[in-house]
Structures are given as structure tokens and as C-alpha cells.
Structure 1
Amino acid sequence: MHLLRFTFENHRSFRDEATLDLTRPTLKTLRPSKGTEWTDHIHHVDGIYGANASGKTNVLDALHYMLGVIGSSATSWLDEPQFPRAPFALIPEQMTAPATFELEFIYSGQRYDYRFATDSDGITEESLHVVSTRWKEVYSRNTDGRVKGLKGITRVARRELALSRAAQFNHASVTPIWEALMRGFDLYHVGDGEVNARIDRIARQLKERSLNLSALVTLAQIADTGITHVEVEEHAIPPRFAQLVAQMLAPASDDSQEQASDSSSDEVEDISNYIARNLLFRHGESSGRLRSSDESTGTMAWLALGTAVVNALRKGCVLVVDELGSSLHPQLSRLIIDWFDDPEVNTTGAQLIFTSHDMTLLDAGRGSRAKREQVWFVEKGSNGASELFNLDDFTLQKGSNIVKQYLEGQFGGVPYTAPSLIHNLLNRNTEEIR
């Protein structure tokens, strides 16, 4: 799957409509020109830069939210007390105003446009279009949940998308599109929690042999980590401990002891089957092994993100990374960008969308207009609303020092600091000291 455009409005700090456009100006018609492919007309790397709290992450969060609605509105979200949403909160009227989300993408060689709008009660509108000779409606639904164009589905609940409900019914015409959207994106969040979850997944995949051990070692060697061998250590939970956990989880009642002995056998078995896995690393020729907790933060961050990168490049996915460069050396971040930009490496047309504070990565926008189009900025105005804009909106001379001009504030998207206020914090008066 390939992403052409993502448009959203009234989500978190974005009050007004914003569009992340990954198409090149060469795409002037609904289909690629003769002799070209879709991958010739899209960006494979787009970076988003801006000050802290400017709203960079909210661009990715809007995409995460849209995919969440698509994936869960007909299942787990129906159990929520209120329809989940995050409108612009600084203006009261925006809290009840509709929020819109739209994806234009390529799946199986065809161009689709999918959009929906939400309010506090659920879905207000939804539609899916596909290009044949021109845009053609596949289906649509209105605020009342009435669906037009999906055979066998004439109405859905106010809080669920027709696409999500159709996927639950395994509807032949749109379920493949739902699956493509669910599998076509990999969202990588910043933080130790994400790294730990990815490392746990790596350990499981190594044991299941769905991830090649030598491939993981090669990935570690690319970053010069010194790792020469990786293995998985497993520990099953002891039956007695599993029984104690099951008793703790059992519902409390007057005859809870009897229930714990009579009805918790299934829970005990489930917990006993849980296996804790840990990666063990060997460095050089030494026989000693280090646990993942003993390795550097940077090594674990590289393995966690690196496996996601390799998976995206193999499958042609859209990898979305918040704070690319977090815990990584700038050369490794640059290397990831180069892989996605290199057609000899990126043979599937995979795409990378990232946010970053690493100014060295801005040099990716130096040179031709095609390079400048891949650089985005986010700036928050005095009213608290974020704006997304492109480097190509500015007039630049050939060979412009983009990093220097950015730090000078010529493109916006930089923090306006007040360093002298530190004196207010350090020069405490006598009353405060007492």
C-alpha cells in the first residue's frame, strides 16, 4: 500500500484543515502517466520538524486516531461510555464541531479516497471512492447510519463505521481494503514502553522462527553495536505462582474460596502457559552473555526501530515514526532515511513519515525541489492552533543552507526562547529562602 495524502481537521492542536501531501507534481492525472508507476510519483521519506509542543506529534496522532476508528469502531469502541475523540479544546465551539479525516492511497494498483467525519455522538458521514476512468463512489453513509452501495449492509450504528462493520461480516468488496489499511501502516511511538514492547515481540518472533536470527545479528552489526550472537531465554511461570495469581484475579464474593478452587483451573492453566522471554547478547568471541536490560538504551532502540524499518522495506508498508533519532546516533537516523530513498534498497516503494528535532536531518531537503517537498514544519500560533506547511512554500536559492536558515527562524517552526528568565528562578529573595 502507498499513501498519497492524509487530510484532517479539528483534532487536538489542529483546529483548521491540514494536509500531508506525499505526491510529486509529476502526478497530474488520476493515474500514472504511460511508462511510469505509482512509486515514481510519491515521496518515500517525509520529515516533520517544529518546536516542542508545536503539534508535530499531533499530525501522527491524527493518523493513529483515524486508523483506530477504522479498526475498532465496530468492536471494542462500542463498549466505551462515550465515542472517543480529541477535538481542538481551546475554543468551546470546536469541542462540538465535526472532525474530519481523509486518506488517499493506492491499494492493489488502484487509487482510493476514504473519508469520514465525527462528532461527540459518533460518525456523521463516511464515503469510499475509487478511480476507474474518473472518481466513482463505492459506498457512502449518512449521520443516521444509512448505507448506500454495500450489498447486505443497509444501516450501521451511529458510533461505527460502515467499513469496520463490513470487515466484521467479511464483506467481499471492502474487507480487503480494511485489511490493507490495518496492515499497511506501522506506527512507532517514542519512549521506553514502545522499545520494550518491540523487543518482547522480537523475542517471540525469534522463538517462533518468524524472524531470522542471523538477520537480527546483521542489523546489530550495521550499527556497530559489537553484538555477534543473539539467543532467547525463556522462563515459564511456576504452577504454584500461577495459582496464586489466578486467586488474586478471581471475583470477590462470600464463597470466593470455594470459587477459587472450583472455577479457576482454566485461569491457572492460561497463566501457567505464559512464558517470559528475554534476549541474550554475546559480544565478540567471549562466552559471556548480556541481557537486554544490560545493553545500552541506544542498542535496544536501534534493534526495536531497525526491525520495523526492515519489515516496512520488505512489505512496502508506511512506517510512521515519532521522534526519529531518539536514543540513536544521527548517522543511524540518516542511514534509515537513505534506505527509504534508495530505489535499489527500497524496491517495494515503502514510505517513511517521521517527526524529529534532529537538525542534521533537515539537509535531506537541500537541493532539488523534489527534496524540498519532503520537509514539513509545524508551528503553533498565538491562539494555540497548529499549522502544517511545506519547505517548498519558501523561495530558496540553489545550495541554500537549510539548517542555518531554519535555526535563524526563516521558515518558522522554531521555539522562541526567553533564556534571561532563568535569573527569575535563581535570584531568590530572602523571604523565599526563609
Structure 2
Amino acid sequence: MLIEFSVGNYRSFNEIQTLDMRTAPLRERIPEGEQHTFQAGKYKLLRCSAVYGANASGKSNLVRALLFMRQFVLTSATKLQIGDATGVERFKLDTAARTRPAYFQIVFLLNGITYRYGFELDEERVRAEWLYRTRQRESRLFVREEQEFDVSGTLKVRKGVPEMTRPNALFLSVLAQFNNAEAASILGWFRKKLHGISGLNDKLYGGYTIRRIENDAVFRKRVRTLLRLADIGINDIGVESIPLSQVDMPSEMRDILQNLVEVANKEVEKHPQEHLLTAPQDLFQTTPKDTFFKSVTTRHSVFDGKSTQPIEEDETFNLEEHESDGTQKFFYLLGPWLDSLDEGNVLFVDEMDARLHPLLTRELVRMFLSPQSNPHNAQLIFTTHDAGLLGERILRRDEVWFTEKNRFGATELYSLADMRERNDASFYKNYLLGLYGAVPHLGGLRPFVEQEMQDAQNAETERAQETTR
């Protein structure tokens, strides 16, 4: 379970900002407000948080920060070589930030134990790293300053492991490589329980949903039911395999593609941590005789033009060619969505509402909010522009967050729960009025265009008068 996530000096974040999934001491008037929370040890946590903000306010960078931390934890010990850059992007609009390291910290609950883990780094090396564990009280497992390590005996670290940790690798990641049980358990949480996807690039994770419906008949039935309930006209979904040998392309290109698929599939097997992302084997199947391209098909009812009852035969369509962008996104989302609910995962989604009808977005959010559809206490953190979620009071105040850039161009993250607001206030109206900030200031757009149009009209009039003289 995620308790909090903090980031500083990364992309548009300068000072450290924290997203807190603990409930705030509020009296909410949402009838189902208490159902949005769950007890995890001593913590009362939220199932959902929505992040609002103007374009370029830094919403997406919150998700990017989480994904960078996850990726660096999982791969710094295995994929980076000596001298490789860490890949971090520090804040660029403050000269002081050039000498400060980027900062990442996450607090989470695993097997009834609270862990606080974080690190600081620049483009070349890890500057600091720390891991604390809380049972009854917080205790230090290790603290790192550059290449100096202070390790608690309770962590049971093999002799010589700190010395084998490269400057650009995380000590936690190295410990897991040397089969330290506690470190491996923590990396397992990052790999299996913490995920992030983009609502704008659904093709990046669409293959995961294809994989799931292809390999699990029960999962396919659930997806089919949800597609029907979404009222988009789809009765069934399937996957067809088309031989690459039947695709019209030069034989040399076909051979190159087949070799690339084989190499990529082997690479995926080595790095299973990105299993939510589309892998080559999700789209291609290689056999000794041929390579097959996988195509998703949908089935729609056919009518005879007289009766409202469909005739027996369905018509088959290709998902990519014939279905709308919104339908494709909804289908591709269902894999990560259902598995997160089934497994109690933490899912970050950037631009979740893009290309989706607002009513469909609401139902996707409600799947996480309801204890009945979310019995394993999965958590959803998403960025959005859908102010309608505020108008219908679907979300509690402590589930609503905002990002706004200050006058120095740095992103600030804050919660609606931090503001003095009446319970019966219209959050929708007040947000669009700018009372909470996090909205664009657009007063000059329309007058600018109007003035341009007027200037063009005046110039045209003057030219016409000149020609008549």
C-alpha cells in the first residue's frame, strides 16, 4: 500500500513536494465517503487521488517522477555500466538547483511493515540513499552518503557488497542482486505492485490486455462483459493471428522484422519488471515456420432493418481500423485496471480521461472507490482535466490534489483538504472560477485574436480604399 510519495529537483519540481494517501481529519458529506478509505495497520488510507492542474503545470511530471524512481530501483544495478548517466533530469530554472541532487522518497506498507526508502542523485552518481523500517518504531536499515555506507546488522548484508556498489547504482538494487531477502522483497513490491501508465499512449500497454485475454478465458469473459456494459456496441472480443508470410512486404524486410521480434522477446524475458508494457510477444508470435502478427477483432450485432432484435450472425471488425480511439483506449485500459483491482496494486495513470466519455471515466474511478469492486484495496492516482468529478462530489476533499507553477516556474502540489472550504461548497464551480488555483489564466486569448481579426479587417478596408482612389 502506498502511504506517500515525495519528489524534488526533478523536471518541473524544485522544492520537495509530497502526495499523501493518508486520510485528512475531515467531516465529509459524500454518502459513500467512508467507503473510499481502508485501514492498513495503523494507517487509514485512501483508495484514490485525482490530480488537477492547467496544461504544463506539472501533473504529468508527478507520474514521470514515480516511474523514474521505479525504473531506477529495478534496473540501476543490472542495466547501467560504470560511467553511464543516471538519466535523471533536474529542475533547470533555478541556478541553485544545479548543485542540488534530485530527491525521491516513497513510504509504503509491505507485509505489515512500513518502509521509508529514498535516494538523491545527479546525472552521474547517487549522492545519498536510505532505508528505514517501522514495526513498533522506526529503525534504520542503512544510510548511504556517496560511497560511504552505514548498514544495520539486522539487514544481514554479505561482506563486500557495499564495496561492489557502483556510484551510479542503488545499494538496495545491488542487495537484491545478492539475494538479500528484505531487499528482494522490496524490489518485488516495486516490480509487481507499483505501476504507471499514460492515458495518451495506450498502445504502450495495450499489448498487456491482448496478452491477458489471449491466455485467460475467464479474464476475456470479464473484458467482454465490461465492453457490453459500456454501451459501445461490442458483443465480443478476440485475437486473430495473421502469418507474416501473407503480409505484402519485401522478403528482406520480413526477415529483419522476424529477427527483431526474436531478439526483443528474449530481452523481455530478461527484464520482466515492465510486464504492463506492450512486449513484442504480445503482438507477434514466432514459430519455426513463420511469425504471426496478432490482430484484435470485435464483433457487433447485425440487424435486418425491420426488427430491433439482431439477426443471428455478428459482423467482425478490426479494433485498430474500425473502432474509435476512445473504444480502443477503454479496451486497452481494462488489462491494467482489472489486474490492479484483483491484486491490490498501486496504479498511477497520466491523462486518464483523454479520449474517454466523462461517464465512462466516472465508472472507471468508481471501480477503485467501491469496496465491493476493490476488495483488495488497490489504489488509483490519476491526473485529469475532468472537473465534472468535482461537480458530482464523487471524490472526497482529501482525494483532490492540484498542481500549479509558482512565479519561478516550479510546480507546487497541494490538496483541496488543505483549504478552508465549506462542506456544501460547489467544488466544481469554485475550481473553474480559479479559487483553488491550478487553472490557466486565459483572459488575453480571445481579445488577442479579436484584435488580430480587427486589424486584418482594417488593413483590408484600407487596401480597398487605396485601389478606388
TM-score for both structures, normalised by structure 2: 0.79
Report the Cα offset of residue 25 of structure 1.
4.2
CA distance, structure 1, for counterparts of residue 452 and residue 351 of structure 2? 30
CA distance, structure 1, for counterparts of residue 15 and residue 140 of structure 2? 26
Counterparts of residues 223-372 of structure 1 (less than 5 Å) = 223-238=230-245, 244-246=253-255, 274-284=291-301, 285-293=312-320, 294-363=322-391, 371-372=396-397
Report the Cα offset of residue 311 of structure 1.
1.1
> Can you list the C-alpha shifts for 1:17-67, whole angstroms capped at 9, x where unaligned?
1000101247xxxxxxxx954497001110000111111111111111111
Report the Cα offset of residue 176 of structure 1.
1.1
Report the Cα offset of residue 364 of structure 1.
6.3
Report the Cα offset of residue 302 of structure 1.
0.8
Give the aligned residue type for 1:57.
S
1:69 aligns with 2:72: yes
Q: Is the partner of 1:357 in helix, strand or coil?
A: coil
* Cα pair 2:244 2:254 within 8 Å, conserved: no
* Cα pair 2:39 2:45 within 8 Å, conserved: no
> Can you list the C-alpha shifts for 1:324-357, whole angstroms capped at 9, x where unaligned?
2111111111112222111122110110101101
Pick aligned residue for 2:225 from 218, 242, 247: 218
Pick aligned residue for 2:414 from 354, 366, 389: 389
Larger deviation, residues 203-212 vs 325-334: 203-212
Counterparts of residues 35-74 of structure 1 (less than 5 Å) = 37-38=40-41, 41-74=44-77
Larger deviation, residues 131-140 vs 314-323: 131-140
1:202 aligns with 2:230: no
Distance 1:52-1:244 versus aligned 2 partners, 3 A rule: closer
Report the Cα offset of residue 245 of structure 1.
4.8
**2:169 paired residue number:** 160
* Cα pair 1:228 1:283 within 8 Å, conserved: yes
Q: Is the partner of 1:212 in helix, strand or coil?
A: helix
CA distance, structure 2, for counterparts of residue 397 and residue 81 of structure 1? 52
> Can you list the C-alpha shifts for 1:209-238, whole angstroms capped at 9, x where unaligned?
376221120121121122112221102333
Q: Is the partner of 2:314 in helix, strand or coil?
A: coil
1:407 aligns with 2:432: yes
Report the Cα offset of residue 140 of structure 1.
2.5
CA distance, structure 2, for counterparts of residue 48 and residue 248 of structure 1? 41
CA distance, structure 2, for counterparts of residue 222 and residue 80 of structure 1? 53
CA distance, structure 1, for counterparts of residue 226 and residue 169 of structure 2? 41
* Cα pair 1:205 1:211 within 8 Å, conserved: no
**2:281 paired residue number:** none
Pick aligned residue for 1:95 from 94, 98, 101: 98
CA distance, structure 2, for counterparts of residue 190 and residue 296 of structure 1? 15
Report the Cα offset of residue 248 of structure 1.
9.1
Q: Is the partner of 2:202 in helix, strand or coil?
A: helix
> Can you list the C-alpha shifts for 1:297-330, whole angstroms capped at 9, x where unaligned?
1111111122322111110001111112111111
Give the aligned residue type for 1:154.
P
CA distance, structure 1, for counterparts of residue 42 and residue 333 of structure 2? 24
**2:186 paired residue number:** 177
Distance 1:238-1:406 versus aligned 2 partners, 3 A rule: same
Q: Is the partner of 1:100 in helix, strand or coil?
A: strand
TM-score for both structures, normalised by structure 1: 0.85
**1:4 paired residue number:** 3
Distance 1:335-1:207 versus aligned 2 partners, 3 A rule: closer
> Can you list the C-alpha shifts for 1:229-282, whole angstroms capped at 9, x where unaligned?
2221102333996765556999xxxxxxxxxxxxxxxxxx88966431011111
Give the aligned residue type for 1:162.
F
* Cα pair 1:237 1:271 within 8 Å, conserved: no
CA distance, structure 2, for counterparts of residue 249 and residue 330 of structure 1? 41
Q: Is the partner of 2:162 in helix, strand or coil?
A: coil
Q: Is the partner of 1:179 in helix, strand or coil?
A: helix
Which ranges of structure 1 fall in alignment gaps of 5 or more residues? 27-34, 251-268
% identical equivalent positions: 28
> Can you list the C-alpha shifts for 1:379-422, whole angstroms capped at 9, x where unaligned?
11221111111101211123100111111111111100112111
> Can you list the C-alpha shifts for 1:96-123, whole angstroms capped at 9, x where unaligned?
3111111000111111111111123211
Give the aligned residue type for 2:184.
T
CA distance, structure 1, for counterparts of residue 328 and residue 185 of structure 2? 35
CA distance, structure 2, for counterparts of residue 40 and residue 159 of structure 1? 34
Which ranges of structure 2 fall in alignment gaps of 5 or more residues? 26-37, 260-285, 302-311, 464-469
**1:265 paired residue number:** none
Count residues with an aligned counterpart: 400
Report the Cα offset of residue 424 of structure 1.
5.0
